[in-house]
């Protein structure tokens, strides 16, 4: 894969999810996303309206996290979070899977949890759902099962990590996830991607999107 800097930028979700992020930080995030042509910004739900306003007519989408960072919210709460974000103008939501339910073997609960958010998305044309499976907490078999369940529930992306759950994206996980989704969903690599080299490795392995707070450093190859 030989991608230009602009092509890599269009794969980046420029991310700021720190608990102490301030409004000026979010405005700067949006300014950088507009300047460098990133695909989206990814923020906490409380900042969706601000980002939509800052990025109007920029071509940069707004993504909001749902059930973040633990994934243990009630399914109805996740669905409401998604509905609120879409109503405010977000085009994407990155929801955290119910990790405990998956590890318990309660696949029906995992499915219903994801499906509830996907169904909300269906009322807002052009929106999509990414499912964060938190790979650092799963066995290889559980990663495959998580990917298969996300696809079964209708998610268009499966994402590696929140960035808050230990290790982040690895090439091996991307390769495994690409195989598990079987072309029925795309993969977002996130967590620990800080350099151009890492970004290129994830894309080469099959990731379609990159979640990172280091987007500027990546495109400037610093």
pLDDT 10s digits, 129-184: 999 999 999 999 999 999 999 999 999 999 999 999 888 999 999 999 999 999 99
Examine the residue annotation and report whether 143 is marked as an active-site residue of this protein: no
Examine the residue annotation and report whether 188 is marked as an active-site residue of this protein: yes
- DSSP per-residue string spanning the chain: ----HHHHHTTEEEEE--TT--HHHHHHHHHHHHHHT-SEEEE-GGGHHHHHHHTTTSS-EEEEEESTTT--S-HHHHHHHHHHHHHTT-SEEEEEP-HHHHHHT-HHHHHHHHHHHHHHHTTSTT-EEEEE--GGGS-HHHHHHHHHHHHHHT-SEEE---SSSSS---HHHHHHHHHHHTTSSEEEEESS--SHHHHHHHHHHT-SEEEES-HHHHHHT-
- The burial of 23, by beta-carbon neighbours within 10 Å (0-12 exposed, 13-18 middle, 19 or more buried), is given as exposed
pLDDT per residue as tens digits for the range 124-142: 999 999 999 999 999 999 9
Catalytic residue selected from 130, 159, 173, 186: 159
What local confidence, expressed as pLDDT, does residue 1 receive? Answer: 66
Q: Hey, what domains does the chain have and what are their CATH numbers?
A: 5-220 (3.20.20.70)
Examine the residue annotation and report whether 159 is marked as an active-site residue of this protein: yes
Catalytic residue selected from 39, 130, 186, 188: 188
Catalytic residue selected from 94, 113, 130, 143: 94
**Residues 26, 16: contact at Cβ < 8 Å?**
yes
| pLDDT, average across residues 114-127 | 98
Question: CA 101, CA 6: separation in Å to the nearest integer?
Answer: 40
| pLDDT, average across residues 206-211 | 98
Question: CA 17, CA 147: separation in Å to the nearest integer?
Answer: 24
Q: What confidence category does residue 26 fall into, taking pLDDT thresholds of 50, 70 and 90?
A: very high
pLDDT per residue as tens digits for the range 33-74: 999 999 999 999 999 999 999 999 999 999 999 999 999 999
């Amino acid at each position: 894969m030989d991608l230009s800097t602009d092509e890599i930028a269009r794969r980046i979700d420029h991310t700021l999810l720190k608990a102490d992020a301030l409004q000026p930080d979010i405005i700067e995030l949006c300014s950088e996303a507009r300047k460098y042509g990133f695909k989206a910004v990814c923020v906490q739900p409380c900042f969706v309206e601000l980002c939509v306003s800052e990025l109007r007519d920029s071509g940069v989408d707004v993504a909001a996290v749902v059930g973040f960072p633990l994934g243990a919210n009630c399914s109805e709460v996740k669905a409401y979070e998604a509905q609120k974000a879409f109503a405010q103008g977000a085009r994407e939501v990155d929801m955290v899977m119910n990790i405990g339910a998956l590890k318990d073997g309660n696949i029906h609960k995992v499915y219903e949890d994801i499906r509830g958010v996907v169904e909300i998305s269906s009322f807002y044309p052009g929106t999509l759902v990414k499912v964060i499976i938190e790979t650092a907490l799963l066995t290889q078999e559980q990663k495959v099962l998580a990917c298969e369940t996300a696809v079964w529930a209708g998610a268009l992306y499966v994402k590696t990590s929140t960035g808050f759950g230990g290790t982040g994206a690895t090439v091996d996980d991307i390769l495994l996830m690409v195989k598990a989704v079987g072309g029925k969903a795309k993969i977002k690599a996130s967590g620990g991607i800080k350099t151009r080299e890492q970004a290129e490795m994830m894309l080469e392995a099959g990731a379609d999107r990159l979640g990172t707070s280091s987007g500027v450093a990546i495109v400037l190859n610093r």
